[in-house]
């Protein structure tokens, strides 16, 4: 019985470390304060290669569309962007805003760069 408690304690401590790391990342990237049309870009490496792969995400309708094999098809939330793309891999470049564009509806003036 005591060994079960020790094992459970280890599992809980491991989960606490994971949650603390996630919290630190969320604090690092903050809340989604970007306007629709914002483009973010970053580079990251994978364990199988030293090559840097570059990605971009564009915000449309409070969702993010990400380039690359895993992205682009599905709109994801800010929390998922941070968790799936920036906290689970080796991000080598700071995430930065490249451009922001005003998204306009049909019949409005043409899009203008901010």
Q: Give 74-109 pLDDT, tens digit per residue.
A: 889 998 888 778 776 667 667 776 655 555 555 555
Closest listed residue to residue 91, CA positions, set 56, 64, 53, 63: 53
Are residues 23 and 37 located together in one domain of the fold?
Answer: no
Q: How many domains does the chain have?
A: 2
Question: How far apart are alpha carbons 84 and 30 in whole angstroms?
Answer: 15
Residue 66 lies in domain: 32-104
Q: Looking at the domain assignment, is residue 113 inside a domain?
A: no
Are residues 53 and 91 located together in one domain of the fold?
Answer: yes
How much is the pLDDT for 113? 46
Are residues 9 and 54 located together in one domain of the fold?
Answer: no
């Amino acid at each position: 019985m005591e060994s079960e408690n020790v094992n459970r304690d280890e599992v809980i401590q491991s989960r606490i470390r994971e949650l603390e790391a996630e919290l630190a990342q969320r604090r690092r990237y903050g809340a989604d304060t970007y306007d629709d049309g914002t483009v973010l870009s970053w580079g990251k490496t994978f364990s199988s290669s030293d090559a840097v792969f570059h990605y971009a995400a564009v915000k449309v309708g409070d969702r993010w569309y990400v380039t690359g094999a895993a992205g682009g098809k599905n709109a994801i939330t800010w929390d998922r962007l941070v968790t799936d793309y920036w906290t689970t891999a080796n991000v080598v470049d700071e995430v930065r805003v490249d451009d922001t564009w005003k998204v306009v509806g049909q019949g409005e003036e043409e899009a203008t760069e901010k």
